Structure 1
Amino acid sequence: MSSVACVDIGSTWTKAALVGLPAGELLATAQAPTDATDVVRGVLAATAGFPAAPVVACSSAGGGLRLAVVGYEELISAEAGHRAALSAGARVVHVAAGRLTGEGLARLAAAQPDVVLLVGGTDGGEASVLRHNAAVLAASAPLQGRPPPGSRPERATGGEEGALRLSVPVVLAGNAAVRDEVAAVLRAGGVPVSATDNVLPDIGRLAPEPARAAIRGVFLRHVIGGPRLSTDPRLRAWVRTVTPDAVLAGVGVLAAARSGLPAPGVAVVDVGGATTDVYCVPDPDAEQSTLGREAVGVPAARRTVEGDLGVAVSVGALRAAAAAEDVPLVGDDPLDLGVAAATIALRRHLRAEAVYGPDGAGARGSGLVVLSGGVFRHAEPAALAAAAARVAADRGGAGGVLADATVVVDRRYVLAAAGLLADGHAAAAAGLAAALSGAEVLSPPAGR
Structure 2
Amino acid sequence: MDKLFKIVKEREIGMKTEKVDLLFAEIGSTTTVLTAFHFGIKPKVIAQAEHWTTVNEGDVTIGIETALKKMEEKIGSKISWEKFAATSSAAGGLKMTVHGLVYDMTVRAAREAALGAGAVIKYVTAGKMDDFHLKKILSIQPKLILLAGGVDYGESETVVHNAKMLAKLDLDVPIIYAGNVAAAEHVEYILSSAGKKVYITENVYPRIDYLNVEPTRNVIKEVFAEHIIKAPGMEKIKDMVNYEIIPTPAAVMKTTELAYEHFGDCLTIDIGGATTDVDSVTEGSPEIQEMMISPEPFAKRTVEGDLGLYVNAHNVIEMMGEENLRKQFEDYDELLSRISPYPQGDRDEYFISKLATFCVQQGIRRHAGSKKHLYTPTGRKTIAEGKDLTAVKYVFGTGGFLSRSKYAKEALESIRHLSRLHPMELLPSENIKLFRDERYIFAAIGLIASKIDKDIAKELLINDVKEY
What is the distance in 1 between the residues matched to 2:134 and 2:386?
39
Check 1:73–1:299 CA distance in 2 against 1; reply closer, same or farther (3 A cut). closer
Q: After superposing the two structures, state which structure 1 stretch, 54-63 or 8-17, moved more.
A: 54-63
Aligned twin of 2:408: 384
Aligned twin of 2:32: 14
Aligned twin of 2:53: 34
Q: Which amino acid aligns with 2:311?
A: V
* Kept after mapping to 1: 8 A contact 2:152/2:181: yes
What is the distance in 1 between the residues matched to 2:104 and 2:385?
23
Larger Rg: 2
Aligned twin of 2:14: none
RMSD (Å) for aligned C-alpha atoms? 3.2
Aligned twin of 2:21: 3
Check 1:311–1:84 CA distance in 2 against 1; reply closer, same or farther (3 A cut). same
- Does residue 102 (structure 1) correspond to residue 124 (structure 2)? The answer is no
More strand by share: 2
Report the count of equivalent residues. 401
Structure 1's unaligned 5+ residue stretches are 141-164, 259-263, 442-448
Check 1:193–1:317 CA distance in 2 against 1; reply closer, same or farther (3 A cut). farther
Aligned twin of 2:66: 45
* Kept after mapping to 1: 8 A contact 2:288/2:388: no
Report the Cα offset of residue 179 of structure 1.
1.0
What is the distance in 1 between the residues matched to 2:305 and 2:144?
15
Q: Which amino acid aligns with 1:197?
A: E
What is the distance in 2 between the residues matched to 1:408 and 1:69?
35
Check 1:189–1:359 CA distance in 2 against 1; reply closer, same or farther (3 A cut). closer
Aligned twin of 2:356: 338
* Kept after mapping to 1: 8 A contact 2:225/2:244: yes
SS at match of 2:245: strand
* Kept after mapping to 2: 8 A contact 1:137/1:166: no
**Where do residues 281-300 of structure 1 align in structure 2 (5 Å cutoff)?**
281-282=281-282, 287=285, 291-292=289-290, 299-300=297-298
* Kept after mapping to 1: 8 A contact 2:112/2:297: no
SS at match of 1:199: coil
What is the distance in 2 between the residues matched to 1:293 and 1:343?
25
Check 1:204–1:218 CA distance in 2 against 1; reply closer, same or farther (3 A cut). same
What is the distance in 1 between the residues matched to 2:300 and 2:123?
22
Q: Which of 349, 360, 363 is matched with 2:367 structurally?
A: 349
- Does residue 368 (structure 1) correspond to residue 394 (structure 2)? The answer is yes
* Kept after mapping to 1: 8 A contact 2:416/2:432: no
Check 1:389–1:192 CA distance in 2 against 1; reply closer, same or farther (3 A cut). same
Report the Cα offset of residue 199 of structure 1.
1.0
Aligned twin of 1:314: 312
Check 1:400–1:99 CA distance in 2 against 1; reply closer, same or farther (3 A cut). closer
What is the distance in 1 between the residues matched to 2:220 and 2:310?
26
Report the Cα offset of residue 108 of structure 1.
1.7
SS at match of 1:250: helix
Report the Cα offset of residue 268 of structure 1.
1.3
Aligned twin of 1:430: 458
* Kept after mapping to 2: 8 A contact 1:19/1:26: yes
What is the distance in 2 between the residues matched to 1:135 and 1:253?
41
- Does residue 419 (structure 1) correspond to residue 422 (structure 2)? The answer is no
* Kept after mapping to 2: 8 A contact 1:171/1:193: yes
* Kept after mapping to 1: 8 A contact 2:54/2:63: yes
Question: How high is the TM-score relative to the length of structure 2?
Answer: 0.76
Aligned twin of 1:157: none
What is the distance in 2 between the residues matched to 1:316 and 1:130?
40
Cα offsets for 1:97-142 (capped at 9, x unmatched): 22322221122222232111111222222222222222222222xx
Structure 2's unaligned 5+ residue stretches are 1-18, 73-78, 327-331, 337-350, 373-382
**Where do residues 218-237 of structure 1 align in structure 2 (5 Å cutoff)?**
218-221=223-226, 223-225=227-229, 227-230=230-233, 232-235=235-238, 237=241
What is the distance in 2 between the residues matched to 1:360 and 1:351?
4
